């Protein structure tokens, strides 16, 4: 035998047995403490001593004490057993959905609406779960999901610009739709269409437009082109409240998803109307297939599926509206 292989043959059960013998002073008492039979403990010690090539326990009648080698093993027992037992406790917590950490990303208009509702639900139902949140537009969220920086991504998608199905398959990412979010126009209160519901998009051909985020702007351009005109976009801002403020100042009209107006203050001199034809985006989540079986991820997905879109008048896919939006 050589010393080098012996150092690799020290198993966890041996450490537990050596610690128990040191604490109780006999093999019989150590067996009872560990819940093993006395012959099983004696045989395990013999096998361990054979593997290590040195004596661990010195027997004297009904008592036993540790040899010098046994004392070396006992000296590490607190650190080794403490680390292993701590890990086992954490694993039990994960398997029982009592603990775990989830990294979530989401688009800006979800940050002040859906995300607080989700976090509140999880805190009430799974108080041991820890959740971190990063605000990111959907393209960045998909990239973060693909390289493992987040576990779940809340995303919004418009009918144009479909996602690359091959890319999703290659990264084993599943996308699940949760809500349909209608696009609405924001008009000054004295606009000729302020009293119409819905407002006909073609009748705003001569208006100046204030665009929201780049993807909102892209949807606006596509929707206007579909009815026969190119929108005159004179201003653009990612700040939804700023869009409303610019409309209130009479500087143009705008189109925004309903959820983006969920926490924005809409002044009295602004009206919000549906559009004809009606535009939509879908809101959902994306998750890597291999992560979907992790208990903490499963619990978060269940909370996402049970979110109530009622406060923002969101509907479930297929419940209303003619559009089944695809892609970012």
Q: What is the DSSP string of 201-268?
A: GGGGTTSEEEE-SHHHHHHHHHHHHHHT---EEEEE-S-HHHHHHHHHTTS-EEEEEGGGGSSS---T
Using the 3D structure, point to which of 95, 115, 138 is the last residue of a domain: 95
Q: Does residue 173 share a domain with residue 234?
A: yes
Per-residue pLDDT tens listing for the chain (328 residues)? 444 444 457 888 888 888 888 889 888 888 888 888 888 888 888 888 888 888 888 888 788 888 888 888 888 888 887 787 776 656 655 554 445 688 999 999 999 999 999 999 888 887 878 889 999 999 999 999 999 899 999 999 988 766 678 888 888 999 999 999 999 999 999 999 999 999 999 999 999 999 988 888 888 999 999 999 999 999 999 888 899 999 999 999 999 999 998 877 788 899 999 999 999 999 999 999 888 878 888 889 999 999 999 999 999 987 644 333 333 3
- The pLDDT assigned to 215 comes to 83
H or E element: which one contains 165?
helix 165-170
Q: Does residue 162 share a domain with residue 232?
A: yes
**Distance of alpha carbon 149 from alpha carbon 79, whole angstroms:** 31
Q: Give the count of domains, the chain.
A: 2
Q: Does residue 171 share a domain with residue 71?
A: no
Q: Does residue 173 share a domain with residue 47?
A: no
2 with 54: CB under 8 angstroms? Answer: no
- 187: helix, coil or strand? strand
Tell me which residue of 45, 56, 59 sits closest to 13, measured CA to CA: 45
Using the 3D structure, point to which of 95, 125, 159 is the last residue of a domain: 95
Q: Does residue 179 share a domain with residue 206?
A: yes
- The pLDDT assigned to 225 comes to 93
Q: Does residue 248 share a domain with residue 161?
A: yes
Q: Does residue 235 share a domain with residue 111?
A: yes
Q: Does residue 192 share a domain with residue 85?
A: no
Displacement of CA 51 from its chain's centroid (Å):
47
Q: Does residue 198 share a domain with residue 322?
A: yes
- The pLDDT assigned to 177 comes to 94
Using the 3D structure, point to which of 76, 95, 114 is the last residue of a domain: 95
Q: Does residue 162 share a domain with residue 290?
A: yes
Residue 213's domain spans which residues? 100-328
Indicate the burial class of 168 (C-beta count within 10 angstroms; 0-12, 13-18, 19 or more): middle
Question: Tokens 């896919």 belong to which residue?
Answer: 317
Q: Does residue 285 share a domain with residue 220?
A: yes
């Amino acid at each position: 035998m050589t010393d080098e292989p012996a150092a690799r043959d020290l198993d966890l059960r041996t450490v537990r047995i050596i610690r128990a013998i040191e604490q109780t002073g006999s093999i019989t008492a150590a067996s009872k403490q560990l819940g093993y039979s006395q012959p099983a403990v004696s045989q395990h010690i013999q096998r361990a001593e054979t593997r290590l090539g040195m004596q661990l326990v010195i027997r004297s009648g009904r008592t036993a004490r540790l040899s010098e080698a046994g004392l070396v093993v006992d000296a590490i027992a607190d650190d080794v057993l403490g680390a292993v037992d701590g890990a086992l406790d954490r694993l039990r917590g994960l398997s029982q959905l009592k603990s775990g950490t989830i990294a979530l990303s989401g688009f800006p208009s979800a940050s002040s609406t859906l995300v607080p509702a989700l976090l509140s639900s999880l805190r009430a139902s799974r108080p041991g779960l820890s959740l971190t949140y990063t605000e990111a537009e959907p393209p960045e969220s998909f990239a973060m999901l693909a390289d493992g920086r987040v576990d779940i991504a809340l995303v919004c998608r418009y009918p144009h610009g479909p996602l690359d199905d091959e890319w999703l398959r290659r990264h084993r990412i599943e996308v699940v739709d949760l809500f349909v979010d209608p696009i609405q126009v924001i008009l000054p209160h004295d606009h000729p269409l302020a009293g119409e519901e819905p407002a006909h998009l073609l009748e705003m051909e001569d208006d100046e437009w204030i665009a929201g985020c780049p993807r909102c702007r892209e949807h606006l351009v596509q929707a206007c082109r579909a009815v026969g005109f190119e929108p005159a976009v004179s201003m653009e801002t990612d700040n939804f409240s700023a869009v409303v403020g610019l409309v209130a100042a009479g500087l143009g009209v705008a189109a925004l998803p309903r959820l983006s107006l969920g926490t924005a203050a809409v002044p009295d001199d602004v009206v919000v109307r549906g559009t004809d034809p009606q535009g939509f985006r879908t809101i959902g989540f994306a998750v890597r297939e291999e992560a979907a079986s992790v208990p903490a991820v499963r619990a978060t997905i269940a909370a996402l599926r049970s979110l109530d879109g009622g406060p923002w008048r969101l509907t479930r896919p297929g419940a209303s509206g003619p559009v089944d939006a695809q892609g970012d």
